[in-house]
Structure 1
Amino acid sequence: MSKSLWGALGAVLFAVVVAVGAVVVTRAASAPPGAAAPGSSDVSPAASSKSSVPEGDSADAGFARDMAAHHQQAVEMSFVVRDRTRDTDVRRLAYDIANTQANQRGMLLGWLDLWGLPKVSPPDAPPMGWMGHSEHGSGPKPKEDGLMPGMATRAEMAALGRADGKQAEIQYLKLMTVHHQGGVAMAQGCAKQCTVPAERALAQGMVDAQQSELELMAGLLKERGAKPGA
């Protein structure tokens, strides 16, 4: 296995460890007054107060909803390519992305449950609109079809499902590169704007892991005589 692949897998493992720790921290922050947090004997009043629960239109809630949807497509895309190629490196990358992002998606949706907030944004809410409501900038613009930045269209997903072998590998790596770029931008927004420490930590872990995977995918594309982009 190449050093770049080991590096990317290490970054993914780090993100999973951060995410597991995030669940414990969030459960502590969401516990009712007087309740003991998992693995501890006490919870501070500040951590257990109702004020620690994010509002429905906050960056914390918006990131949880949008990244959960963003991750879902990455999981679907990864399972598609896993069955369309025999290449060990691409199949391993796809498995790692699917496994990691499925776990993270479960945590994000779990937080929304703990906070008592809807898991789906209102129909009139712009994709990633929460990134434009603070001093940190306007955030990335949604695509013309209303999809969040980085997400593949139905036509692109269908084309991936029809491809085989090297063609499927290249299509997947290109689509996932764009997908990660959109995901990194969103996670960077949460790392700056979210107020729940556990969620900020998870978001930063996503940034670090996906940036490493972007480097890995660039190398895999180069090996196949291709490069990121159309």
Structure 2
Amino acid sequence: MSRTRQAGWIAGATAAALVAAGAITYAVAESDDPGNGAPAADSADAGFARDMAVHHQQAVEMSYLVRDRTGDEEVRRLAYDIAQTQANQRGMLLGWLDLWELPKVSADPPVTWMGMGDMASGKDGALMPGMATNTELKKLNTLKGKQAEILYLQLMTDHHKGGIHMAEGCVQKCTVGVEKRLAQGMVDAQQSEIKLMADLLKARGAKARD
């Protein structure tokens, strides 16, 4: 499959995911009664919702950064798809916290719900697995064209790998069915995007970072 066709397929899959996401949000709102079976503030369900909302926000920011710094249609399309999908999912996650009447921030370190709280150093702004540092984001903001594309694809590959790790944690530990299904959907979609980004990097004479 060509990169253009593959990108088009992922764009179509993204659109389908957004429709499904809307349905999931509606289903949760219809079926879950806050205070009656809602997860606890220190649960994996709440922890994943809080942490992935922050994780997704950085992906959205990086994607809009690169869209302003390149004219390449494949990269711009991918960045747009990632930004739209993750902004939508972020809204769902925060909406669930509202529905459950739980705080959107926690005094515990990020990914404590995964048993990794002591591993989240927060060094240079990288609060969770795969997140870019403040220095890396500043560098992306100074680059244009092919250089910006390569750094974005490398940063987003790392970001997706970290996000997949967190989503797999929710699949294992979360108890709310629709949240577990959303997390599995994140795993599947981001694995596909990692493959596409590897092809895009190879076409630019580069590869993902070790």
Distance in 2 (CA, whole Å) between partners of 1:221 and 1:78 is: 16
The alignment's C-alpha RMSD in Å is: 1.9
From 112, 121, 125, give the equivalent of 1:129: 112
Give the aligned length.
Answer: 206
Distance in 2 (CA, whole Å) between partners of 1:22 and 1:204 is: 13
Contact kept? 1:14, 1:205, Cα under 8 Å: no
From 99, 120, 124, give the equivalent of 1:142: 120
Determine which structure has more spread, i.e. the larger CA radius of gyration. Answer: 1
Contact kept? 1:139, 1:189, Cα under 8 Å: no
- Unaligned runs of 5+ residues in structure 1 are 33-49, 133-137
Residue of structure 1 equivalent to 2:193: 213
Q: Residue 167 in 1 paired to residue 169 in 2?
A: no
Contact kept? 1:74, 1:179, Cα under 8 Å: yes
Deviation of 1:9 after TM superposition, in Å, equals 2.4
Contact kept? 1:177, 1:217, Cα under 8 Å: yes
Report the AA paired with residue 12 of structure 1: T
Distance in 2 (CA, whole Å) between partners of 1:149 and 1:11 is: 25
Distance in 1 (CA, whole Å) between partners of 2:205 and 2:117 is: 33
Distance in 1 (CA, whole Å) between partners of 2:197 and 2:23 is: 28
Report the AA paired with residue 99 of structure 1: Q
Residue of structure 2 equivalent to 1:30: 32
Q: Deviations over 1:13-63 (max 9, x none)?
A: 34323322211221123247xxxxxxxxxxxxxxxxx44200000000000
Distance in 2 (CA, whole Å) between partners of 1:215 and 1:141 is: 27
Q: Deviations over 1:77-136 (max 9, x none)?
A: 0000000000000000000000110011011000000111001121xx12211012xxxx
- Unaligned runs of 5+ residues in structure 2 are none
Percent identity between the two aligned chains: 60
Q: Which has a greater percent of helix?
A: 2
Residue of structure 1 equivalent to 2:11: 9
Residue correspondence of structure 1 range 1-230 to structure 2 within 5 A? 2-31=4-33, 50-122=35-107, 125-132=108-115, 141-143=119-121, 145=123, 147-229=127-209
Contact kept? 1:60, 1:190, Cα under 8 Å: yes
Report the AA paired with residue 26 of structure 2: V
Deviation of 1:144 after TM superposition, in Å, equals 5.9
Distance in 2 (CA, whole Å) between partners of 1:81 and 1:220 is: 14
